[in-house]
Amino acid sequence: MSIAERTAREQRLSAAAIAVELCRRCSIGATRQRSVYGEGDSCAELMVVGEGPGETEDRLGRPFVGRAGELLDRMLLAIGLPRERAYIANTVKCRPTLDDGTRLRNRPPDPAEMTNCRPWLDEQIEIIAPRVLLALGAPAAKSFLGPRFSITKQRGQWFEGPRGIPLMATFHPAYVLRLTGGEIEAVKRLVWEDLKAVRAKLDEFARLAQTPQPAVQIDLFGS
């Protein structure tokens, strides 16, 4: 990737992040503390998409921080990708909340919020043009693959994502952290299988990029 291309991408991402900070398409745009646009390598091969910012993300303006973020970092490192070499974002850029009378609680984004925010995500995917998309959790997977997608039955499978990019879904790190007992080991094994498949797909792209393509024979003189 040339320096000029990287700079152009970074400038577009910065401009979009400023526009997101001003966005008020949904009511959560007014209740959030900070927008959480996304972060990472503008030329990343892997783009990770979660559901939406939680309380800590909302406070810091960064995606996947706190315990779930630490687990995501370990998951990425396990397949040889330090967090800063991936790009990390969410389906919505503002924290969806529920006011229970005493405090604002996290909730999943509703379909209207995901629809409103989709142009921001689509633009990110277009700018970064990752080789692989990894959706974390059912809401993120459904935003790409439709409401009938089942995370328990269809995680670990390859689908065609936006712009024809290979897409896989796996369990959200926050879900893994909520599990207890024997279930946790079984789910961790499944997530590890999914991550290995992502690594294999990235390696496949890298091999293809290195394989010399057969020279195209051109009849310079016509026949």
Cβ burial of 37 (10 Å; 0-12, 13-18, 19+) is buried
Comparing CB distances to ligand SF4, the nearer of 7 and 27 is: 27
Residue identified by tokens 């070499």 is: 85
Which amino acid belongs to residue 93? K
Using alpha carbons only, give the angle 126, 130, 178 rounded to the nearest 5 degrees: 110
CB 190, min distance to ligand SF4, A: 30
CB 52, min distance to ligand SF4, A: 8
Q: Dihedral, CA atoms, 100, 102, 108, 112, nearest 10 degrees? A: 70
Residue 28 as a binder of ligand SF4 (CB under 6 A): the answer is yes
Interacting residues with ligand SF4 between 117 and 136 (CB under 6 A): 117, 120
CB 25, min distance to ligand SF4, A: 4
- The region of 42-50, 81-89, 92-100, 210-218 touching ligand SF4 under the rule CB under 6 A is 92-100
Q: Dihedral, CA atoms, 122, 176, 153, 96, nearest 10 degrees? A: -40
- Cβ atoms of residues 79 and 191 within 8 Å: no
Residue 92 as a binder of ligand SF4 (CB under 6 A): the answer is yes
Interacting residues with ligand SF4 between 96 and 115 (CB under 6 A): 113
Interface with ligand SF4 (CB under 6 A): 20, 23-26, 28-29, 35, 92-94, 113, 116-117, 120
